[in-house]
Amino acid sequence: MKAKITVKLKEIVLDPQGETILHSLNEMGYDKIRKVRQGKVFFIELNETDEKKAEELLKEIAHKVLSNPVIENYEVEIVK
């Protein structure tokens, strides 16, 4: 099974990298770009056929390792 975990900074957390990218894009003339938040995506393959069990496992690693719950949120997606 394949999966994708997206980790994003919480909305209340300042994202200096996203701000800088947004600023650069605007400077380059892409003035329709209004907001940029930088995050991380993890592409995962796992030995599990049961989708429910896979999701549980993925949520566990997302919470415990891949994200820092103080500053980040995550989304788990099974890739079909």
| Residues binding other proteins (CB under 8 A) | 13-14, 16-17, 20, 65-66, 68, 70-71
Q: What's the min distance (Å) between Cβ of 51 and other proteins?
A: 26
**DSSP letters of 6-73?**
EEEE-TTS--HHHHHHHHHHHHTT-TT------EEEEEEE-S---HHHHHHHHHHHIIIII--TTTEE
Q: Which is nearer to other proteins, 30 or 68 (CB)?
A: 68
Q: Which is nearer to other proteins, 13 or 33 (CB)?
A: 13
Q: Which is nearer to other proteins, 20 or 30 (CB)?
A: 20
